[in-house]
Structure 1
Amino acid sequence: MRRITLWLLSTVAALVLLFGYRTSTMGAGGGAGTFAAGTGSGGGSADAGSGSTGSGASTGSGSTGDRQVDGSVAQTRWGPVQVRITVSGGRITEVTAVQVPDGNFRDRQINGYAVPILRQQALAAQSARIDTVSGATVTSDGYRESLQAAIDAAHLG
């Protein structure tokens, strides 16, 4: 009887601790729904000079024939993700993350290693068919969505 009581109390204590644990990625807002759709609030900017958030915004850069096209803002669970592609001669020559989630240290840490990998994959693939970066699934999904919107707006393949 004593063993059963001890086992039962240990199990209950373990369950209480397990369900009471808060992960560091939940941020100050407590999780999903922190960002209002379509407002772009709370999103960080990897390109401080960017004022464009619309889908398919395109700008030329003079005699080089390069043009920049912004993808739509992908509203993810952790915040907005937006990319800008530079197109020259029908090829993607550069991919820049305009917005990525940066609500807390963990967001900045994850995106610090994930965004360069996603950029490299996009340049190599010349499409939005890129792999998800382990540990950055939500950002990878938003990156792919915005990248595909930019590719569509640029009328590439």
Structure 2
Amino acid sequence: MHALRKNRPLRRIVLASAATVSGLVMLLSLKPHTPPQFAAAPAPAPTSGPSTSGGSGQSGQSGQSGQSGQSGQSGQSAGTRTVTGDTVQTRWGPVQVRVTLVNGRITDVTALAQPSDNPRDREISGYAIPQLRREALTAQSASIDTVSGATYTSDGYRRSLQSALDAAGR
């Protein structure tokens, strides 16, 4: 005997109602995505990084496709260099970083350009850029892992970082 036989309409109504209620319970039990709490905190940090090195006279070109920002080297005290990497055009927008090296060691990586055309881009950049910065400082190279959910931004960050390190002779 089949559960949805035509001579038993009450059984069909009960099964349809139970399926609807189950579907609603499962839908309502999903947690909405909330942006990370630390997404807004790292934004001021990039402006404080280069000021400790005393760097000036940087002429990195950002926002132009195919232009190199390598000319952003500054004459600072012995052993301290700040180099601006190339602007890398990604699917979601340009990515460019500035690297500060002290005695050949990476001490700071600042994102000068990152995808930020819409709230979703800003959200992704807000959690990806600090993770990429930590990875770069830990690895002391451009051999860093891709941040899940920010593949294009991670690739652009890695390429810009590598161009800055190449310009610095590392």
TM-score normalised by the chain length of structure 1: 0.65
Moved over 3 A (4+): none
How far apart, CA to CA, are the structure 2 residues paired with 1:85 and 1:154?
9
Q: How many residues align?
A: 109
Letter in 1 for 2:75: G
**Secondary structure, counterpart of 2:74 in structure 1:** strand
1:92-142 per-residue CA deviation (whole Å, 9 max, x = no partner) reads 110000000100000000000100000000011011110000010010000
RMSD: 1.8
Residue of structure 2 in register with 1:146 after alignment: 160
How far apart, CA to CA, are the structure 1 residues paired with 2:119 and 2:156?
19
Contact 2:106-2:140 at 8 Å conserved across structures: yes
Residue of structure 2 in register with 1:93 after alignment: 107
- Which residue of the other structure, out of 60, 80, 87, is the alignment partner of 2:94? 80
Letter in 2 for 1:77: R
Letter in 2 for 1:137: T
**Secondary structure, counterpart of 1:75 in structure 2:** strand
Larger radius of gyration: 2
Residue of structure 2 in register with 1:52 after alignment: 60
Unaligned segments of structure 1, at least 5 residues: 1-45
How far apart, CA to CA, are the structure 1 residues paired with 2:119 and 2:148?
18
Identify the structure with the greater strand proportion. Answer: 1
How far apart, CA to CA, are the structure 2 residues paired with 1:77 and 1:146?
15
Q: Which has the higher contact order (CA 8 A, sep 6+)?
A: 1
How far apart, CA to CA, are the structure 2 residues paired with 1:64 and 1:150?
18
Unaligned segments of structure 2, at least 5 residues: 1-45, 51-57, 62-67
**Structure 1 residue 111 and structure 2 residue 125: aligned?**
yes
TM-score normalised by the chain length of structure 2: 0.60
